[in-house]
């Protein structure tokens, strides 16, 4: 992404008092976020031009920042998102980002975490489980590595009340049609709470509707498939 020109920077400062949008993750402000999405799920006021956060990143940040207001977390960040990673690193004394393609700090599969039991007190897993065929195994692994009282923050696209899975849907074109993205293997419903509870978690669902509508508009926090954050605690 190219750096803004001198003219762009002058215009930004001059018009800042009039801006109606602000990114809580990086501080950018403007009149509108950038468009984002594909032909199936596209929206016009979504993407921060500075840190590239989307509605889901900003929603989780707004909701969790008051909760994660200390430091010293031992954090596992699954498939780290650039808008969220700097904040998680700041509040962590032990931060590990993992993915399966080797671009994060460690190459590791969330269904087979090469980590000791009870070794983390925070797991952040956003928009990963819809890509994972063995999602229940991934949930169990996150539960295993958390200490008692530890928290997993889970975000996934939600398409309704009931999770939709279809083993006959295998091509990228069909997955886009059925699951909203070419590399998704299911479209979760709100019944994902039951799956998380079966893994051992106590689950609290936080919704964008809990927030002041003016705040939601200012930070562009709402999109129809990403309006929930699941706060999952390993019982003491």
Residue where the block lists tokens 């996934």: 156
The string of pLDDT tens digits covering residues 144-178 is 999 999 999 999 999 999 999 999 999 999 999 99
Set out the domains of the chain in order of their start, with CATH numbers.
Answer: 6-233 (3.40.50.150)
Tens digit of pLDDT for each residue in 185-230? 999 999 999 999 999 999 999 999 999 999 999 999 999 999 999 9
Is residue 3 pLDDT above 80, yes or no? no
What pairs with residue 188 in β-bridges?
158
The whole-number pLDDT of residue 2 equals: 55
Residue 56, classed as helix, strand or coil, is helix
Q: What is the pLDDT of residues 185-195, one digit of tens each?
A: 999 999 999 99
Q: What is the pLDDT of residues 34-72, one digit of tens each?
A: 999 987 888 999 999 999 999 999 999 999 999 998 889
Q: Let me know: does 201 contact 230? Beta carbons within 8 Å.
A: no
Residues contacting 188, CB < 8 A, separation 6+: 129, 130, 156, 157, 158, 159, 163
**Alpha-carbon gap, residue 4 to 92, rounded angstroms:** 32
Distance CA 98, CA 115 (A): 11
Q: Is residue 4 over pLDDT 60?
A: yes
d(CA 158, CA 122): 23
Q: What is the pLDDT of residues 107-134, one digit of tens each?
A: 999 999 999 999 999 999 999 999 999 9
Give bridge partners of residue 14 from the DSSP assignment. none
């Amino acid at each position: 992404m190219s750096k803004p020109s001198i003219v762009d920077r002058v215009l930004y400062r001059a018009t800042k008092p009039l801006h109606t949008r602000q990114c809580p993750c990086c501080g950018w402000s403007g009149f509108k976020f950038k468009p984002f999405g594909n032909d199936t799920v596209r929206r016009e006021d979504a993407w921060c031009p500075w840190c590239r956060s989307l509605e889901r990143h900003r929603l989780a940040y707004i909701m969790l920042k008051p909760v994660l207001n200390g430091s010293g977390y031992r954090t596992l960040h699954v498939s780290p998102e650039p808008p969220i990673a700097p904040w998680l690193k700041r509040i962590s004394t032990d931060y590990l980002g993992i993915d399966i393609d080797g671009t994060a700090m460690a190459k590791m599969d969330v269904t087979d975490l090469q980590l000791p039991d009870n070794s983390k007190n925070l797991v952040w897993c956003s928009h990963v489980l819809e890509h994972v065929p063995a999602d229940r195994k991934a949930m169990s692994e996150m539960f295993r590595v958390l200490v008692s009282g530890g928290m997993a923050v889970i975000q996934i696209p939600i398409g309704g009340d009931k999770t939709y899975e279809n083993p006959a849907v295998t091509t990228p074109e069909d997955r886009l049609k059925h699951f909203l993205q070419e590399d998704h293997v299911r479209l979760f419903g709100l019944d994902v709470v039951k799956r998380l509870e079966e893994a051992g978690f106590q689950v609290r669902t936080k919704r964008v509707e809990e927030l002041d509508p003016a705040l939601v508009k200012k930070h562009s926090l709402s999109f129809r498939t990403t309006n929930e954050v699941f706060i999952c605690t390993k019982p003491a």
